[in-house]
Amino acid sequence: MMLSRILFITVLVAMITIAGCAPQAPRASEAGVYDIGKLRVTLENGWYEQRGAELPDTQARSKTWSREGLEHDRLFVTGGVDDGEPVFDARDYTGLPVFRSNMSAAEVAEFAAQSLQRVLWNGSASIAASNVRDRGFTGLPGFEFELSADVPGSASHLGIAGGFIEEGRLYLTIYLAESPGYFERHRQAAQAVIDSSVPTMKTIRRP
């Protein structure tokens, strides 16, 4: 009797532990304004927040959404990377490139591509940045660029990204999706999120 009770408790504890470690199901995000770290973005309906241990963006300053599931597309938003820090959580990965506040737009694009290459698809993909260009974000100077990912054994991905450096911090939004297909289908929705980016708790300089 005692042995059976011990076995029951052991199995119960194991099940609770496994459940606690399992990735959480995607959660539909309502259309509206979201603050991620020190960045504010606006989402329309159709985005699903991705939460779970398999994601590299485990810091409180970052969130990941998807419209089709992470195997098909992802929207990554980070709200303030400090000088000398990686964009992803360094506790889970080694050798990540770090952000420098004096980076040019082209250097930020390369930094983002190298970071994604390190953490996605177990480091097997080849990810490149291109078409870096200047743009503004509600009175702040910023940049946009495009991404392409060659994924062995899987569909190729294309991406768009936009962000800015303000007070020594990097604010960045990246959308990456299978192409042809999901990237073309959801590019406009992703671009709308990028366009909505603005730092929180700051008086914006207007021209």
Calculate the average pLDDT of the chain.
Answer: 83
Tens digit of each residue's pLDDT (9 = 90 or more) over 29-73:
788 999 998 999 999 999 998 876 445 554 568 889 999 998 899
CA distance 188 to 127: 22
Q: Is pLDDT of 99 > 60?
A: yes
More confident site: 17 or 80: 80
> Measured between alpha carbons, how far is 56 from 53 in angstroms, rounded to an integer?
8
What is the rounded CA–CA span in Å between residue 200 and residue 21?
A: 32
Dist CA 68 CA 46 (whole Å): 9
Interval 153-175: pLDDT, tens: 889 999 999 999 999 999 999 99
The pTM assigned to this predicted structure is 0.82
Helix (H) or strand (E) holding 176: strand 169-178
pLDDT score for 7: 41
